[in-house]
Amino acid sequence: MTRISAFFTGWVLTLVSASSAWAQEMPTPSFPVPWQLNLQTPASPVAERLVEFHNFLLVICTVISVIVLALLIWCAIRYNAKANPVPSKNTHNTLLEIVWTAIPVIVLVIIAVPSYRLLYYMDRVEDPGLTIKVIGNQWYWTYEFPDDDISFDSLPLPDDEIDIAAGQHRLLEVDTPLILPTDTDIRILFTATDVLHAWTIPAFGVKLDNVPGRTNETWTRITIPGKYYGQCSELCGIDHSYMPIVVHAVSPEEFEAWRADQLAANDNTPDDANRLAALIQE
């Protein structure tokens, strides 16, 4: 706790070194491990529901596959030329045709109902506690907190700055991670300055296109504090694979401390008008 608050104090002065220091103590609740099966550990209500829906679909897929395989085996054994030398001349069976049309329709409806329910749940949040804006650039991310006038770029760390011993990962670390509070409904707005990008954090169940000239929207509520990784998921040019995403999810109190530091830093920086006035006086 004290180390984290110490980090907040040093944040403004030493962004890069501070973030790598924090990397050592930030747990990664949802990071892939060798031989892992299934999806990453969900860290938001949307991601939990996506995992549940995925498991539900897996059951339906398995049942259909087993039934079709059993039918194929049964036909091959029961109706081969040796076992059934005189084949039936039937070409129609009304009841059978109704059944094999109706059953797939019913299965699709059973899938569609929870699918649409989840789609609308993911769409937007009524009363967000925080709004952030994610802007895709070739080839880095810009994060804005529109209500607080906080804005910064998040650039990938080059290979020679990656500290494997500190738990860092090549091609996944950034100089300035996005800080977000846990247990808060966060509205996320997406846009881009140049081409299509897609901001993605698998653990949050968030993946949406950043489209130039358009604002997309979704939301998240992070349930587990820690460090989360993602990557741009829309082919956006030669460095598409070099624009990682890092989110540090901290408690609302720690987030407020960070926000206060950012606002204080903003106040100390002369805005463009002041800077211009100073230049003219000289």
User: Between residues 232 and 257, which has the closer beta carbon with respect to Cu ion?
Assistant: 232
- The window from 2-10, 44-52, 219-227, 236-244 that contacts Cu ion (CB under 5 A) reads 236-244
Report in angstroms how near the CB of residue 196 gets to Cu ion at its nearest.
8
232 binds Cu ion (CB under 5 A): yes
In the complex, least distance from residue 52 CB atom to Cu ion, rounded to whole angstroms:
30
Residues near Cu ion (CB under 5 A), total: 3
Task: CB nearer to Cu ion: give 138 or 184.
Answer: 138
The answer to the question of residue 155 lying near Cu ion (CB under 5 A) is: no
Q: Smallest gap, in angstroms, from Cβ of residue 243 to Cu ion?
A: 5
Torsion angles phi and psi, residue 246, rounded to 5: -130, 130
Among 135, 236, 249, 257, binds Cu ion (CB under 5 A): 236
Q: Is there binding between residue 192 and Cu ion (CB under 5 A)?
A: no
197 binds Cu ion (CB under 5 A): yes
Which residue's CB is nearer to Cu ion, number 179 or number 232? 232
149 vs 153 by CB, closer to Cu ion: 153
- The span of 20-28, 85-93, 197-205, 269-277 binding Cu ion (CB under 5 A) equals 197-205
Amino acid identity for residue 256 in this structure: E
Q: Minimum distance from CB of 188 to Cu ion (Å)?
A: 16
Binding to Cu ion (CB under 5 A): which residues in 14-33?
none
The residue range among 108-116, 168-176, 196-204, 256-264 that interacts with Cu ion, by the rule CB under 5 A, is: 196-204
Nearest approach, Cβ of residue 212 and Cu ion (Å): 12
What is the SS3 string spanning the chain?
CHHHHHHHHHHCCCHHHHHHHHHHHCCCCCCCCCCCCCCCCCCCHHHHHHHHHHHHHHHHHHHHHHHHHHHHHHHHHHCCCCCCCCCCCCCCCHHHHHHHHHHHHHHHHHHHHHHHHHHHHHHCCCCCCEEEEEEEECCEEEEEECCCCEEEEECECCHHHCCHHHCCCCCCCECCCEEEECCCCEEEEEEECCCCEEEEEHHHCEEEEECECCCEEEEECCCCCEEEEEECCCCCCCCHHHCEEEEEEECHHHHHHHHHHHHHHHHHCCCHHHHHHHHHHC
Q: At closest approach, how far in Å is the CB of 21 from Cu ion?
A: 28
Cα–Cα distances in Å, from 273 out to 148, 219, 270, 276?
Answer: 19, 35, 8, 5
CB of 185 or CB of 209, closer to Cu ion = 209
- The contact set with Cu ion (CB under 5 A) reads 197, 232, 236
